Amino acid sequence: MSILLGAALEYQSLKSAEPRLLNDVPDALSRPVRWVHSSEVLDIAPLLSGGELLLSGGQALAGVTAERQADYVRELAARGIAALALETGPALPEVPVTMLEVAEAAGLPVIELRQVVPFVGVMQEINSLLVSESVEHLQLGDQASHAMAAELAHGSGLDQLLAVLSERTGASARLVSPSGLTLGAAGGMFPAGGTTPLDDGGSVTTVDVPVRGVLAARLELHMPDDGDGGLARVAGERSVDILGLALLQRMPPGLKELAGIELMRAINSGSQHWQLQQLGPASGFPAQGQVAAVVIRSTGAGHLRPAVDALLRECVPHSASYANNAELIALAALGGGAAARHALMEALRGVEMPAGSVVAVGPLGVGIDEAPWSLTEARRALDLARVGTGVVDADTLAVELLADESLDPATREGFVQRQLGAVVEHDRLRKSELMRTLTVWLDTGCNTAQAARELHLERQSLHHRLQRIFELCGGDPRGTGRLAALHLATRLAWL
C-alpha cells in the first residue's frame, strides 16, 4: 500500500509543519509513499528499501561538510526513497543550495518543514493507514496466488494463470521474456489475444520473475487510472513463485546453465574448494583459469542482468551471473590476464545503469578456487570506495583493503594522527580541504599540473595549498622517506 506524496503532505500532522517543495523534480507530488521514517543518522541509506518519506531535523547535516551533505542526498536517491523532508530552524536555518542541486540532478524531491512538529505523530497518523491497507492487500494477494496455484495444478498455461491474476486485481497482465518476447497476456489492455497493450493511460507495475536465481521473465501489470496500484504490486509479488513454476515446466534450463547457477551460489556462500572444482568445469570455467568477480549494487539489479550478460559474452570467453535482491554478481573467465580485466572494466563503464548504481571488479584470481576471494574483495571495495556511482577497481584500493583487514581502528587512527594530525585539525577548524588536496596530489604521483586539473584549481592556488600543507606536516616530503608514510596516512584517513 502507498499514498501519493502530495496527499501525505495534506495530513494534518504533516501539514502543520508548513511543508514546501524546494526543488524541481518531475511529478514529485505524484510519487508513491509506502512508509514514513525519521532519522538523524547520515548513513541511513543502506537500511532503507525505497518508497520512504524520510523526516530529518537536520542537526547532523548542519555539522558536516558540503561534500558529505551531497553524498547523503545521492545515497538516499540511489535507494529510491520518495522524498526527503528537512526541518529548518536553529540547527539548519536553510537547506544548502548544493544539496538541492544534487538532489534535483538525482531526481530526489526535498521538502522544507518550516515549523517544528513531533515526527512520531506524523509517523503514527500516516503509517497506521498504510499498515491497515497493506494487511488487506496481503490478504487479497494471497487469495490471488492460491487461485493461480489451483489453476496450475489443473494443468493451465500462462494465459490462464494471468487471466486469474487479472480478474483478481483488475489489472491487465503480461509476462515478457528478458529479450522482450511476450510469453502470455490477459485482460482488457490486450484485446483479442494481442500482445501489445493499448495506450489507455494508467500505471504499469513490473515484477521480476526468477527461475532458480536467473531472471526468466518480467510480469507487467497495467492498471487503469481508477485501479488500485498497491494491490497490483502485492498480488504480482505473491504470484512470482507460481509463475516461476509454470515457466520451469515450459522451458527447463539446461545442465550447463544449472551448473552455472549452482557455481555462483557456491561462490557467494564461500563453499569448499572441492565443490568449486566440480562445478567450475561443469559450467564452462577451467579449474586453473584466471577469473575475476564483478559486483553490481543497484535498485535495478535484476533488470540489468540481460545487458550485463550480453556484455560479458562479448568481452570474455565464459561467464556466469546471479541476481540476489539489489545485488548482481558475476564471474568472468579472463584468459588475457590483467589486460582482459582492464578491458572488462572499461566495457562496464559503458553500461547504462540506474542512478546510484555502483560496480566493483575484484582482483584477478588464479583458478576457480580464488573466485570467492575475488568476490569478497570486490564487495569490500564497494564498502570502502568513496563513490556514489560508477565502476570501482578493487586493485586501486589494495592499501585500504589490507589496512581494513589487518589494522585495528585505533592503530590506523594513531598513525594518521602522527603523520597528518595538524592537517586534519586545520581542515576541522577552518573548513578547508587540505587533506583532499594532499590526497589527490599524492595519488597523481606528485604531479602538480594533473592534481590542479582534478581539483579544478589554478596551479598557483594549488602551490599555495601545498606550501601550507608542507608547513603543517614538517616540510616538503619529496626526496625523503616520509613520502610513502604520508601517502599511506592519506589513504588510511578515509577508512
CA dihedral of residues 69, 71, 73, 78 (deg, nearest 10): -170
CA separation, residue 419 to residues 116, 240, 371, 442, 479 (Å): 45, 56, 37, 14, 17
Q: Which residue has the cell 543518522?
A: 41
Looking at residue 232, its pLDDT comes to 83
Residue 190 makes CB contacts below 8 A (sequence gap 6+) with: 172, 174, 196, 197, 198
Which one is the CATH code of 152-250: 3.30.70.600, 3.40.1550.10, 3.40.50.300, 3.30.450.40? Answer: 3.30.450.40
Looking at residue 129, its pLDDT comes to 78
Q: Which of 256, 266, 176 is nearest to 221 (CA)?
A: 176
Q: Which of 470, 490, 472 is nearest to 480 (CA)?
A: 470
Residues paired with residue 390 on neighbouring β-strands, in sequence order: 358
CATH architecture of 255-397: 2-Layer Sandwich (3.30)
Looking at residue 281, its pLDDT comes to 86
The DSSP H or E segment spanning 174 is strand 172-176
Residue 495 makes CB contacts below 8 A (sequence gap 6+) with: 384, 400, 403, 404, 412
- Give the C-alpha separation, 199 to 190, whole Å: 10
**CA within 13 Å, CB half, 98:** 10
Which residues, given as ranges, of the chain have pLDDT below 50?
A: 192-193
Across 361-388, b (16+ Cβ under 10 Å) vs e yields bbbbbebbbbbbebbbbbbbbbebbeeb
Q: Which residue has the cell 503532505?
A: 9
Interval 132-154: pLDDT, tens: 766 777 787 888 889 998 888 88
Q: CA 77, 67, 386 angle in degrees (round to 5)?
A: 75
User: What residues does each domain of the chain span?
Assistant: 3-117, 152-250, 255-397, 407-493
Residue 144 makes CB contacts below 8 A (sequence gap 6+) with: 164, 165, 168, 169, 235, 238, 239
Q: CA 36, 37, 39 angle in degrees (round to 5)?
A: 155
pTM for the full predicted model: 0.51
- Give the C-alpha separation, 223 to 141, whole Å: 15
Residues paired with residue 222 on neighbouring β-strands, in sequence order: 172, 204
Interval 50-82: pLDDT, tens: 889 999 998 889 888 989 999 999 999 988 899
CATH no. for 3-117: 3.40.1390.20
